[in-house]
Structure 1
Amino acid sequence: MTARHGGDTAIAEIRRHGVETMFTLSGGHVFPLYDGAVGEEPAGGRAGGTVPGTAADPRVLDVRHEQTAVFAAEATARLTRRPGLAVLTAGPGVTNGVSGITTAHFNGSPVVVLGGRAPLGRWGQGALQELDQPPLLAPVTKMAETAGGPDTLAADVARAFATAAAPHRGPVFLDVHMDHLFGPAGPARPGEIPDPPERPADPERLARVAALLKAARRPVLVLGSDVWMDGAETAARAFAEELRLPVVANGQARGVLPAGHELLVTRARGAAFRDADLVVVAGAPLDFRLGYGSFGGGTAKVVHLADAPSQLAPHVRLAGSAAGDLSLLFADLAAACAKAGVSPSAYAHWAEGLRDATHAAIAGDVDLLASGADPIHPLRIYGELSKVLDDDAVVIGDGGDFVSYAGRYVEPRRPGCWLDPGPYGCLGTGLGYAIAARLARPSAQVVLLLGDGAAGLSLMDADSLVRHGLPVVMIVGNNGSWGLEKHPMRMLYGYDVAAELQPRCRYDEVVKALGGAGELVARPDEIGPALRRAFDSGVPYLVNVVTDPDVAYPRQTTGV
């Protein structure tokens, strides 16, 4: 198709990068991008606001809040390991997306956000929604720029995608002046997209890590989300199994070793981190989730493995480190360990002890997972959910106290099947993540776990699920409070304030009013049948479970 305007030029480049969905909320500044994606209007027009797209054109999927558009693009990137795309109109459209962009920054998610921008021809004269947006986004993006003009637009878009996808991955923001999008098209950017360069780790660094593993007697391997994002899940599992290393899995690395695997000791992570003499952390930052890199009371040696040198922890005295393509890194480290004479048998007693601790933790939960308590104990929900989840189900957590249980008790059987907000902790991700998961995994179950606080931040986008025909099972743990704040505040001050929500709020009726389905559950024996009805419904369905407001997730205070 002959390029008619700047939108066509940008979309031609977007097609080259294999983008299947453009997530957006309609805004006049970016109309040419929609026009470029849609092409000519078919006879009879289009109904429902959805443009499905073709093999070449991205689907235009509109949502009810710009944050949802960015969260959907971010989840697309995390599930497919290819850049996701969000298109935001100028001014408030962009600023509404900042939390989503920041979440992508902390999660290392390759997201391209194209923003509208007031026309250059009126710049400085007070045009509608005139705002210099890149400086706002620069601290939380790999690149935040304004496209140079029609002649550079294709190259600018290409650079945005390449930058987002290059390890360490992350979001990129590019805004385009309105008159450049609506104006005559510039030249297309010919040529093939080059293969990414190889990223081998330094052999000497790997040899030092191998020496540490040879000397260790109580090692632990921690796998984080970048193991999945770097396509290293198979290599990581092979490495752990070859060396018989106990594994703690975080983020999207959950499932690299499936639930029940003899080396998976995530449920015994407290004991593992307390007693380890060597902790090898791969593909995860040494942040608050990992005690800031302090293990064994500060006595354990720490090795950090990352997809790029920029991700190696600067605040920890590392005994060893290496950066590079994590698939190659695990394979090369296994070879270095073989050369160094590392013997997995040296860890056998340690691994057996952690395996016993894991089994004991699981056994200790049996009664609560089947609890008949009334009001409902939150764990009963997870006990019932485990009975109906398929191996390839995508489970999404968006909440505080209620979703903390999921982090402990939902064990994926495959990698890349778990999504949560990540270290930035931004609630409201859920509906955007669910939209993306349904598109990325059309044959899988998609389950969204919502705290009742988080539900209030994005539940209106259940309308988007309905309008676009995207069935998702939503489960609200409804304790009538911001539980993650209420209980700690009571512990600190003896009272709580600004932590109460409406008891038994009918979130299910909200989804029904928007065209979906749902029901309220107030008795433990009603949970299982309600979940089965939800999965069988084939529509967006919310199971609203009233839980005991006095039950709080048991938190540690050590940071580990």
Structure 2
Amino acid sequence: MSTPPVPVPPPFTGRLSGHGGAHAVEVARHHGIDTMFTLSGGHVFPLYDGAVKPETTMRLLDVRHEQTAVFAAEGIGKLTRRAGLAVVTAGPGVTNAVSGVAGARFSGSPLILVGGRAPDSRWGQGLLQELDQPPLLDSVTKRAWTVHATDGIGAALDEAALLANGAHRGPVFLDIPMDRLYDQAEVELAPSGGAADRAPDPGRVSEAARLIGEAERPVLVYGSDVWLDGAAQEALEAAEELRIPVITNGQGRGVLPGGHPLLANRARGAALGRADLVVVVGTPLDFRLGHGLFGGKDGYPLARVVHVADSAEQVTEHMTPAAAVWGDLAAALRGIAGAAKPTAAADSWRTEIAEAAAAATASDSDALASESDPIHPARIYGELNRLLDDDAVVIGDGGDFVSYAGKYVEPRHPGQWLDPGPFGCLGTGMGYSIAARLARPSSQVVTLLGDGAAGFSLMDVDTLVRHRLPVVMVCGNNGIWGLEKAPMQMLYGYDVAAELRPQTRYDEVVRALGGGGELVTDPAEIGPALRRAFDSGVPYMVNVATDPGDLYPRKTMGV
């Protein structure tokens, strides 16, 4: 199931003619972009005109909020590992898109955002939505700039695609004045320089391998860039060759399928708390990984850290790792696995972690089959896991409810799990749902929504309905902001601004927008409701009233 990413196309070469919008669309098509996610605005009409021309046809998919357009384009980037395209109008169209762009930056998702802009010819005269937009996006993109000449639009879009798709991946913002999009031009784009060499330094690879060979309690951590950099197969092979326990996060989930004997997600605390060496591949040493402070549990010393990243800029700067390797992750993993000679002591460590993971998995059975009333959130996943196909795409948009999913749902393959990433921006659900249905048309798509998250984007069910994109939505409806209520109670002995209305009928919202749905209050009805949702062929909401007292157990507040 793990497939390498589609090769990055070379820079565009050749003649462009017509208006500026046609130039942009033709170059985007060259880079494999076949869908433009947008919300209609007059500043960008020429881009739409370019998209409907027979010679440069591109699917136009219009949404109800610009954030959904960006999340959908980012979702395409996450699933296909090639930049998606969002086009928004000037002013509020761009500002509505900023949170989505920031999320893509933190997640390393390839994304191109094109914004309309008030015309150059009358700039400074108080035009509608006149705003200098690149400074707003500069800190959350790889580059943000304005194209002031029609004959430069094609080259700018070409540069944006190469930047977005190049390691370390991320979003790029380009805004184009309205008059330059409407103007006509002819231009010939000549070949530019080749791709940069990303071969990892052999000495650094050897040092990482040496440290693995000295470790008695090593752990591998695989993150999103393992998938995005096309190294999932090499990561699986490296783990199996080295026979080291593996923790996965983000889109690294599924690199080792659920049930694999080396997968240690259910023994995460023991593995990372007792390790003497942690090799972190393709993910930052951020709050999700305790900022790289591993070991130190049960009297064990702190662990040494090896950080393997897709580019030098991604290597941790807040601590000094014992070794750092950067470059093509597939090559780095092949080199490390080929050179490392794990110690005999690592065998007993592997057995210890496997036993801890098996014990934790066995202890899940009571929660997953819980008959409690109100419904325990885990019961939903007990029912859902029985219905998921091997190639199902699971999307998480929420707090506590999605944390339970991270515990109980293990993808069978990489590239099948989407969540908001380390930026933690709620509201990704509908955009990611759109992307998943387009990118994986034959797969189940299941979107898990907390009731808080549902309030951010549920109106875009209308988009799913209009474009005939069936998705199963499951809402864990506990009537509270679970991530905030308990910590505030702990800190102050009370909570405010943490209540939602219990059993709000989000399913009726979906039905009103043309989909299907139902409210579930009996645990025995969860499975049948999910089966009806999968069989419906429409966007369908299973709105499950869960117990607000069953909050996901956390040891820290993540700060």
Scaled to the shorter chain, the TM-score interval is: over 0.9
* Match of residue 283 from structure 1: 282
Please give the per-residue CA displacement for 1:328-380, whole angstroms capped at 9, x wherever unaligned.
1111112222xxxx136431100000000001101111011000001000000
* Match of residue 494 from structure 1: 493
Given that 1:398 and 1:428 are in contact with CA atoms closer than 8 Å, whether structure 2 keeps it comes out as yes
Amino acid corresponding to residue 323 of structure 1 in structure 2: W
Amino acid corresponding to residue 303 of structure 1 in structure 2: V
Q: CA shift at 1:2, angstroms?
A: 8.1
In the TM superposition, 1:409-558 aligns within 5 A as 409-557=408-556
* Match of residue 21 from structure 2: 7
In the TM superposition, 1:103-182 aligns within 5 A as 103-182=103-182
* TM-score (norm: length of structure 2): 0.95
Q: CA shift at 1:559, angstroms?
A: 5.6
* Match of residue 324 from structure 2: 321
Which shows bigger deviation, 533-542 or 31-40?
Answer: 31-40
Please give the per-residue CA displacement for 1:477-515, whole angstroms capped at 9, x wherever unaligned.
000111111111112211111011111100000000000
* Match of residue 232 from structure 1: 231
Q: Which runs of 4+ in 1 moved over 6 A?
A: none
Provide closer, same or farther for how the CA distance between residues 345 and 60 of structure 1 changes in structure 2, counting only shifts above 3 A. same
User: CA separation in 2, counterparts of 1:125 and 1:249?
Assistant: 53
Of 288, 312, 315 in structure 2, the residue corresponding to residue 309 of structure 1 is: 312
* Match of residue 48 from structure 1: none
Please give the per-residue CA displacement for 1:197-230, whole angstroms capped at 9, x wherever unaligned.
3311111111111111111000000000000000
Please give the per-residue CA displacement for 1:388-442, whole angstroms capped at 9, x wherever unaligned.
0001100000001111101111100100100000000000010000000000000
* Match of residue 241 from structure 2: 242
* Match of residue 23 from structure 1: 37
Q: CA shift at 1:190, angstroms?
A: 5.5
Of 316, 331, 343 in structure 1, the residue corresponding to residue 334 of structure 2 is: 331
Amino acid corresponding to residue 172 of structure 2 in structure 1: V
* Match of residue 49 from structure 1: none
* Match of residue 46 from structure 1: none
In the TM superposition, 1:325-364 aligns within 5 A as 325-337=328-340, 342-343=341-342, 345-364=344-363
Amino acid corresponding to residue 308 of structure 1 in structure 2: S
User: CA separation in 1, counterparts of 2:363 and 2:537?
Assistant: 35
Amino acid corresponding to residue 548 of structure 2 in structure 1: P
Given that 1:71 and 1:100 are in contact with CA atoms closer than 8 Å, whether structure 2 keeps it comes out as yes
Given that 2:16 and 2:154 are in contact with CA atoms closer than 8 Å, whether structure 1 keeps it comes out as no
User: CA separation in 2, counterparts of 1:465 and 1:369?
Assistant: 30
SS in 2 for 1:372: coil
Given that 1:154 and 1:188 are in contact with CA atoms closer than 8 Å, whether structure 2 keeps it comes out as no
Provide closer, same or farther for how the CA distance between residues 182 and 531 of structure 1 changes in structure 2, counting only shifts above 3 A. same
In the TM superposition, 1:344-423 aligns within 5 A as 345-423=344-422
Given that 1:253 and 1:415 are in contact with CA atoms closer than 8 Å, whether structure 2 keeps it comes out as yes
Which runs of no fewer than 5 residues in structure 1 stay unpaired?
41-53
Given that 2:397 and 2:428 are in contact with CA atoms closer than 8 Å, whether structure 1 keeps it comes out as yes
Which shows bigger deviation, 144-153 or 348-357?
Answer: 144-153
Given that 1:153 and 1:186 are in contact with CA atoms closer than 8 Å, whether structure 2 keeps it comes out as no
Please give the per-residue CA displacement for 1:45-103, whole angstroms capped at 9, x wherever unaligned.
xxxxxxxxx9x522000000000000000010000000110001000000000000000
* Match of residue 51 from structure 1: none
SS in 2 for 1:444: coil
User: CA separation in 2, counterparts of 1:418 and 1:130?
Assistant: 39
Which runs of no fewer than 5 residues in structure 2 stay unpaired?
1-14
SS in 2 for 1:152: helix
* Match of residue 47 from structure 1: none
Q: CA shift at 1:5, angstroms?
A: 1.1
Provide the alpha-carbon RMSD of the alignment: 1.5
SS in 2 for 1:427: coil
Given that 1:9 and 1:187 are in contact with CA atoms closer than 8 Å, whether structure 2 keeps it comes out as no
* Match of residue 7 from structure 2: none
Given that 1:66 and 1:88 are in contact with CA atoms closer than 8 Å, whether structure 2 keeps it comes out as yes
Percent identity over the alignment is 64
Please give the per-residue CA displacement for 1:426-482, whole angstroms capped at 9, x wherever unaligned.
000100000000000000000000000000000000000000000000000000111
User: CA separation in 1, counterparts of 2:342 and 2:219?
Assistant: 15
User: CA separation in 2, counterparts of 1:276 and 1:410?
Assistant: 25
Amino acid corresponding to residue 471 of structure 1 in structure 2: P
User: CA separation in 1, counterparts of 2:206 and 2:53?
Assistant: 56
SS in 1 for 2:449: strand
Given that 2:214 and 2:342 are in contact with CA atoms closer than 8 Å, whether structure 1 keeps it comes out as no
* Match of residue 44 from structure 1: none
* Match of residue 183 from structure 2: 183
User: CA separation in 2, counterparts of 1:558 and 1:489?
Assistant: 10
Amino acid corresponding to residue 17 of structure 2 in structure 1: A
Please give the per-residue CA displacement for 1:99-158, whole angstroms capped at 9, x wherever unaligned.
000000000011000100000001011110000000010000000000131121111110
* Match of residue 6 from structure 2: none
User: CA separation in 1, counterparts of 2:548 and 2:39?
Assistant: 36
Amino acid corresponding to residue 171 of structure 1 in structure 2: P
Given that 2:507 and 2:541 are in contact with CA atoms closer than 8 Å, whether structure 1 keeps it comes out as yes
User: CA separation in 1, counterparts of 2:509 and 2:193?
Assistant: 48
User: CA separation in 2, counterparts of 1:553 and 1:2?
Assistant: 55
* TM-score (norm: length of structure 1): 0.95
Q: CA shift at 1:195, angstroms?
A: 6.4
Provide closer, same or farther for how the CA distance between residues 188 and 501 of structure 1 changes in structure 2, counting only shifts above 3 A. farther
Which shows bigger deviation, 291-300 or 540-549?
Answer: 291-300
User: CA separation in 2, counterparts of 1:150 and 1:256?
Assistant: 44
Given that 1:112 and 1:172 are in contact with CA atoms closer than 8 Å, whether structure 2 keeps it comes out as yes
Q: CA shift at 1:3, angstroms?
A: 3.5
Amino acid corresponding to residue 312 of structure 1 in structure 2: V
